[in-house]
Structure 1
C-alpha cells in the first residue's frame, strides 16, 4: 500500500514543488522551462572558454549558419526562444548570451569591442563557411562590428530595431524625454522593480503590468548582481558613440535587411526608415510591433526572418 501511495504522492509532490518554485522564483522557473523547451526542439547548451571568461550559447540544427544576437537585457533564450525553435528546422542556429548577460561572464572591461571579440571567437570555433547575422537592438551594434571585421564570412546582415550609424544625440534626448529618465543607464539598467516596470512599458512588454513580486524577481534575476557591469557597458557605448558610428559608417560588403516594429517606443520607426535608406536595404515593418519583436511578435518576426534568410524577396 505504501508503494502504491508513493506512486501517486511523489508526482503530486513534484508538481506542488514546481508550482511553489514558480510562485517564489518565476524568472528562474521560466528560464528553466524555456531551456527545456528548446532542448526538446533540438538545441544543446554549450560553453566556449575565452581568454578572460566564458561564453555560453545554445546550438542546434543543420543547414546554413545563423547567429542570433540579443539586445540589452535578458539573454539569448529569453529573447529568441520561439524564433529559434522555428529556424532550427532549416538552419544551423547559434544563440549566445552576450558577456555579462545570462550565463556568460568575463573579467575584462565591459565594452562593445569585448562583445565582438567573444562572438568572433565563437564564429571561428563553431562555424565553417558563411554565416548570416541577426542583431536585435544592442545586438545590432555587435552585428555591425562583426560584419566589419569578417566581410568574407558574413554573408548577410539583418538589423532588427537597432539604429546603427544613423542614431543622433537628438534621438537620444528624445528617448530620455519619453522615458522620463536622466540617462540611458537609468532606463536600461533598472535599480529597482519600479525601474523594471518602466523599462518594460517602454519596450512594449506585457511584464509592465505584472504584479510587484514578479517585477522584483525579474530585477533580482537579471539585474541586481550584474548592475555595475551593465552600467559600464551602457556608459561605454555612450562615451565612445562617435568612434563606434565612424567605424560602422564604412561600406558593408554583404546584403543587409532591416526589420522594425511600427510602434517601437525605444527607436521609433523613422529611425529604421533612415537606416534602411542609408544602407539601401529593404525595410520590413511589423504592424503594431514594439521593440521586443522576437518576444511579443514572435510569429511575425519568424516569418520575416525566414523570408530573408532563405533568400526570398522580403515583403516591404
Structure 2
C-alpha cells in the first residue's frame, strides 16, 4: 500500500524535467524569458557568457515536451564549440503569445526577434521536424542572418493535398491531431509506433504514459492544434521560397510521419546547396533511434572549417520532438 502511494505521488516526468534543467545549467546555459512585444514572450536557454570568437548555434525543437527534452542528450556535443541557444517555440515550454497568427512564418519571426534581443547577428540552425519548418522559414525571411541549416525529418515540402491523397497512414486531419497531440496512453503508444521503427512504449506502464501526458501534453492544447492546422492550410509546394544556405537534410528511411519522399522533394527544391542523408532502420525520431549516426553527420557538417564552405554560409548550425518522448519514457528502465 505504501509503495502504491509513492508511485501515485512521484512524477517521473517532473523529475526528468528537473534533471534536464540542471544539466542545461551545468552546460553553461541560463534560462531567460524575453518580452519581444505585441503580447509575445519567448523563453530560451542562452549562454551564461557569450564568447564572441565562437559561432552561434540555434537548436529548434519540434512538437512534444519542450526544448530541454528535445536536445538534452545532444547539447554536450556543441557547447564547447558554439554559443548555443535553445528556445521554446511559441506555445511550448514557457513561450506564448496573445496574437492569433499560427504560421511557422510567425514562429520564425518570433525566434529571430528574440535572437536580436540577445545580440546575435548571425547563426546556424538545427531544426527537428516542426522546428525544421520554422528554421527553413527563418532562412527564407532572414538570409543575411542565417548560415548553415540542418533540417531533420522536416516536412517543409508538404502539401495540403498530400493528406487528402493518402500520403499518410491516417484517415483525416482530426485523426492526425489525436495522435500528434496524444491525450491518452494508447494514443501516445500510437505516436510511438509512428515515430520509431522499434517502439519501446508498449513496455512502458500506463501510469508513466499518463504522467508524461499530464505534465507535458496538456498546456496550450488547442493552440497546438491550430499550429498543425496552419501547417497544412492552403500549403502548396509551388509557393515554397528558395533558400541558398548550405543545408544538410537528415531523414529516417522508414519515417511514417513525414515520409522520405518529402526529403527527396526538399533536396530537389534546394538543389546543389543541400545534401540529403538517409539513415536506415530509423523512423521519424531518427535523432534518438540512431543518435551516434545523427551526431556524426551533424559534426561533419557543422564542425568543418569556414574555408571549406561557400561564402554565403560560414560557420554555425541549427539543431524536434517525438524523439524525446522515447528518451523520457524509457530511460527509467
Give 2:32's aligned residue: 46
- The alpha carbon displacement at 1:180 in A equals 8.6
Greater relative CO (CA pairs within 8 A, separation 6+): 2
Match of 1:47, SS state, is strand
Q: Contact 1:83–1:299 (CA<8 Å) still a contact in 2?
A: no
> Which aligned pairs between 1:159-238 and structure 2 lie closer than 5 A?
159-165=151-157, 167=159, 169-170=161-162, 173-174=165-166, 176-177=168-169, 182-204=174-196, 206-238=200-232
Q: 1:131 to 1:196 in 2, by over 3 A?
A: same
Matches of 1:175 and 1:110, distance apart in 2:
27
Match of 2:135, SS state, is helix
Q: Contact 1:176–1:182 (CA<8 Å) still a contact in 2?
A: no
Q: Contact 1:176–1:183 (CA<8 Å) still a contact in 2?
A: no
- The alpha carbon displacement at 1:230 in A equals 0.9
Q: 1:22 to 1:47 in 2, by over 3 A?
A: farther
Q: Contact 2:157–2:265 (CA<8 Å) still a contact in 1?
A: no
- The alpha carbon displacement at 1:97 in A equals 0.9
- The alpha carbon displacement at 1:110 in A equals 5.0
What do you get for the CA RMSD once the two structures are aligned?
A: 2.8
Q: 1:42 to 1:295 in 2, by over 3 A?
A: farther
Give 2:315's aligned residue: none
Give 1:308's aligned residue: 301
How many residue pairs align between the two structures? 295
Q: Contact 1:80–1:294 (CA<8 Å) still a contact in 2?
A: no
Q: 1:234 to 1:297 in 2, by over 3 A?
A: same
1:55 matched to 2:49? The reply is: no
Matches of 2:247 and 2:132, distance apart in 1:
12
1:104 matched to 2:98? The reply is: no
Give 2:285's aligned residue: 292
TM-score, normalising length: structure 1: 0.83
Name which one, 1 or 2, has greater alpha-carbon Rg. Answer: 1
- The alpha carbon displacement at 1:257 in A equals 1.5
Q: Contact 2:29–2:45 (CA<8 Å) still a contact in 1?
A: yes
Q: 1:310 to 1:167 in 2, by over 3 A?
A: farther
From 265, 270, 286, the counterpart of 1:279: 270
Q: Contact 1:197–1:209 (CA<8 Å) still a contact in 2?
A: no
Give 1:14's aligned residue: none
Matches of 2:163 and 2:129, distance apart in 1:
14
1:128 matched to 2:120? The reply is: yes
Match of 1:284, SS state, is strand
- The alpha carbon displacement at 1:175 in A equals 5.3
Unaligned runs of at least 5 residues, structure 1: 1-18
Residues 287-311 of structure 1: CA deviation (Å, up to 9, x unaligned)? 3222123334333222211111123
Give 2:17's aligned residue: 31
Match of 1:165, SS state, is coil
Residues 166-218 of structure 1: CA deviation (Å, up to 9, x unaligned)? 54623665454258975432221223222122112211253354210011111
Matches of 1:265 and 1:209, distance apart in 2:
21
Unaligned runs of at least 5 residues, structure 2: 310-333
Give 1:74's aligned residue: 65
